[in-house]
């Protein structure tokens, strides 16, 4: 007979085989609602392509004949899409929307902020260690997303989300925020330390008020020699007219999926080529272009947008599925449907396109 040691080894061998095999055998979790949770989980992952900029964290609670959708999301459209997918899968439950939509409501219209620290790291989680996203510099305008107590989640000028201490910014209303977005800007070309001890690092942008006077992040003005910065006026850049002129040459061309030639273009191919004809080279697809530049327009805030800026629109299956070039006064030129055309997001315009206006999510500026 084999010894005790041999028997132990034998049984250990059998157990290891059973454990290995169990990993290959489907195990019934007993949760008859698993397909519903899978639908929701897949929707969270597929609609939001870049969670550095937007995210959706939705989950389902099943209570009898009701499915309650909870969690956080930025837009109602994908949440409604989840309900459609659930019903399409054959479930007849009533789907209730109990989502917390972002941005949160902030009282007194103080839903915006100006960074007052020399720089502050935006983090993906509201903690003081690691998980860095991107730094935000002094004077940078940000949009408030969520209040977590000690921290605020904000969306930076380049669209990255991040948690920062409340002490790192000054909260402002939309009118004050616009002062930091429109008009001439001073871009610092070297590090400067003011008499009051304030450090302004190379790359900081501040509104230029004229006669060497700058608008600081605390709302005060300060006179400083122009040896420290260069002045730009985005509205006066002739490149804007050149891009619009190039775009208008495509008017009437048919929409061609994947097209970027003078025989037909898709939406991103059209934007890409209008810029490329002027020496600016963009990524190929709409969602890739959306990662370039800084935010200069949002639903309800279009005052700072200028002709030549790029607009982005939400789809039903993916976050960003369409892009266009801004012409001013709410009008855009883009390739859609029958081809390259001009439409408007202004309800008072004869060329108003309600569906386009409803799908608008943000505008970006690629050059000054």
Residue spans in the chain of domains classed CATH 3.90.1720.10: 239-365
Nearest C-alpha neighbor of 102 from the set 76, 74, 64 = 74
Q: What is the mean pLDDT of the chain?
A: 90
Tokens of 289: 């272009």
- CATH architecture of the domain with range 107-232: Roll (2.30)
Label the pairing between strands 169-172 and 112-115: antiparallel
Please say whether the beta carbons of 122 and 160 come within 8 A.
yes
Residue 146 burial (C-beta neighbours within 10 Å; 0-12, 13-18, 19+): middle
Confidence of residue 52 (pLDDT cuts 50, 70, 90): confident
Token match 């008859």: residue?
32
pLDDT value of position 48:
75
The pLDDT value given to residue 49: 67
Specify the domain boundaries for CATH 2.30.30.40 within the chain: 107-232
Q: Could you tell me where in the chain the CATH 3.30.70 domains are found?
A: 34-101
Report the percentage of the chain scoring pLDDT > 70. 90
For the stretch 290-299, pLDDT in tens is 999 999 999 9
pLDDT in tens, 220-275: 999 999 999 999 999 999 999 999 999 999 999 999 999 999 999 999 999 999 99
| More confident of the two residues 165 and 9 | 165
Q: What is the pLDDT of residues 86-104, one digit of tens each?
A: 999 999 999 999 999 999 9
Q: How far apart are alpha carbons 306 and 232 in whole angstroms?
A: 14
pTM of the entire structure?
0.86
The residue among 337, 338, 339, 309 whose CA lies nearest residue 324 is 309
For the cut 80, the answer to whether the pLDDT of residue 189 exceeds it is yes
Pair type for strands 94-97 and 66-73: parallel
d(CA 16, CA 93): 44
Domain 34-101, what architecture? 2-Layer Sandwich (3.30)
pLDDT at 276 over 90: yes
**Topology, domain 239-365:** endopeptidase fold (from Nostoc punctiforme) (3.90.1720)
Dist CA 131 CA 123 (whole Å): 6
């Amino acid at each position: 007979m084999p010894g005790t040691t041999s028997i132990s080894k034998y049984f250990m061998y059998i157990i290891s085989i059973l454990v290995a095999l169990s990993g290959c055998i489907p195990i019934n979790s007993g949760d008859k609602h698993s397909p519903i949770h899978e639908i929701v989980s897949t929707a969270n992952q597929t609609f939001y392509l870049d969670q550095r900029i937007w995210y959706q964290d939705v989950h389902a609670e099943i209570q009898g004949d009701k499915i309650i959708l909870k969690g956080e999301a930025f837009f109602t459209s994908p949440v409604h899409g989840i309900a459609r997918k659930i019903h399409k899968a054959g479930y007849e439950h009533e789907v209730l929307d109990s989502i917390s939509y972002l941005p949160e409501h902030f009282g007194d219209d103080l839903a915006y902020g100006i960074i007052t620290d020399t720089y502050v790291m935006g983090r993906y989680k509201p903690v003081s260690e690691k998980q860095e996203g991107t730094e935000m510099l002094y004077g940078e305008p940000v949009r408030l997303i969520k209040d977590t107590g000690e921290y605020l989640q904000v969306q930076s000028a380049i669209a990255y989300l991040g948690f920062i201490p409340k002490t790192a910014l000054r909260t402002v209303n939309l009118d004050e925020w616009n002062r930091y977005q429109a008009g001439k800007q001073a871009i610092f070309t070297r590090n400067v330390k003011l008499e009051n001890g304030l450090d302004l690092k190379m790359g900081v942008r501040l509104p230029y008020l004229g006669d060497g006077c700058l608008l600081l992040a605390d709302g005060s003005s300060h006179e400083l020699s122009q040896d420290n910065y260069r002045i730009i006026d985005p509205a006066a850049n002739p490149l804007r007219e050149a891009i619009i002129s190039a775009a208008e040459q495509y008017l009437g061309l048919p929409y061609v999926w994947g097209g970027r030639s003078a025989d037909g273009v898709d939406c991103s191919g059209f934007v890409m080529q209008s810029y490329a004809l002027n020496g600016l080279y963009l990524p190929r697809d709409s969602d890739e272009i959306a990662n370039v530049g800084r935010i200069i327009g949002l639903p309800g805030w279009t005052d700072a947008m200028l002709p030549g800026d790029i607009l982005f629109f939400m789809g039903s299956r993916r976050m960003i599925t369409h892009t266009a070039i801004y012409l001013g006064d709410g009008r855009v030129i883009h390739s859609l449907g029958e081809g390259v055309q001009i439409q408007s997001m202004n309800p008072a315009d004869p060329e108003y396109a309600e569906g386009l206006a409803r799908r608008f999510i943000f505008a970006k500026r690629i050059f000054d």
